[in-house]
Structure 1
């Protein structure tokens, strides 16, 4: 890793990845006199991505405005090195490295009253994980989660996206996950059932930098205000987004999905 100069918290918050990558325009037949479509540009690190036999679409720049994108700098928080530090009030996750630097990722978090705080351990990680609603989800919102009680296999239909990190306290599964999502609007906001969401491009990037087990700190409101008052309260609380059973369990949805090819990861 190249040396990184010390920067202020305000400068860190303003950092952006400015360069872009353009997709190639398709060849236009000689008989077609219309101009070729303009190439689509993406923020560096957020373009289309091939993974496990899938091609993940690029993230439109409208979801990556301001601080709502990956950035690297000097860590100014309170977690120890080799830790994931999650700030659910500023909507960031920090990968704190041993050399004092960090990569900061924007995240989406649970609605009010549906988040955890304190120290947990990420005991294992999964590529393209399947998802099953918890017993608490089934009990409190059977009309939402009941159709999915048998679970969704890993793949493009899975609500856990491209990667998932599983958080424990001691030997007890907290049922909270850090995971990918296709719900782009949720990143930088509150609105999920409690888990910590990331852009798929970001959760793949993080997955490739870390190993389990790893300590995960979820900041309290007091710590968030103390460490990052500038971004405290960032984002809005979104209404719950209900996915119909047909979208995930219908014949068309199943026909358009297939298991991941892990040899390609």
Structure 2
């Protein structure tokens, strides 16, 4: 079976990355889809027991291919690796026997997207978010008041969980995190970070330990079923 290839290089744009915020939503008229199966309605229902509300995802705004599901995925990466295919808008958690758990993602805009190999240095539940100095310099009125950071909560851009990506022991300022902007899954909208539905980042956060290998690809390389 074909091996997945990848193009890797050291990050050169970390100053833009930690923003994790979106540009304006692009709207378009889409044909009606069949009702969402009960299985996925339950998967993306409101999450109880959290310190802040986690609302049900609005699945009417998301292409069904981006719902969390197990798929065939053939790769030379070891089991437990996170592989992010930015072109296809999928994140894979590599499993056994040529299978992977696949999540739909939103990715960074052209020129700000992460590419390379990193590690999950640490994970956070309901993390704080702080705009970068570059963001503050570009939009002081918007980000200046947040220079000291934003407290956790339902409006925090990082959502209920975040995985912090380091490369060679250095913080890349890129995160894998949640979002309440359901419409952004499958799109290239953020300032560089990799975003999942809140239910999906909670699920992923619980499956991967600190030190997990993360491979972020830009070339279209996904040999999946």
Q: Fold-level match, TM-score > 0.5?
A: yes
1-structure distance, mates of 2:127, 2:165: 14
Secondary structure of the residue aligned to 1:50 is: coil
Match of 1:227 in 2: 222
- TM-score w.r.t. the length of structure 1 is 0.66
Describe the superposition over 1:57-90 as per-residue Cα deviations: whole angstroms up to 9, x where unpaired: 1112213333021010222244332100001111
Secondary structure of the residue aligned to 2:209 is: coil
Match of 1:253 in 2: none
- TM-score w.r.t. the length of structure 2 is 0.77
Whether the 8 Å contact between 1:121 and 1:169 is mirrored in structure 2 is yes
Describe the superposition over 1:93-140 as per-residue Cα deviations: whole angstroms up to 9, x where unpaired: 001124542110000011111111111111100001010111222233
Match of 1:157 in 2: 155
Secondary structure of the residue aligned to 2:112 is: coil
Residue 68 of structure 2, aligned match among 60, 67, 70: 70
1-structure distance, mates of 2:75, 2:143: 37
Secondary structure of the residue aligned to 1:62 is: helix
Match of 1:119 in 2: 117
2-structure distance, mates of 1:227, 1:44: 28
Whether the 8 Å contact between 1:86 and 1:93 is mirrored in structure 2 is yes
Match of 1:140 in 2: 138
Whether the 8 Å contact between 2:59 and 2:182 is mirrored in structure 1 is no
2-structure distance, mates of 1:166, 1:48: 25
Whether the 8 Å contact between 1:90 and 1:228 is mirrored in structure 2 is no
Match of 1:96 in 2: 94
Match of 1:52 in 2: 50
Secondary structure of the residue aligned to 2:203 is: helix
Displacement, 1:193?
0.8
2-structure distance, mates of 1:46, 1:138: 34
Match of 1:241 in 2: none
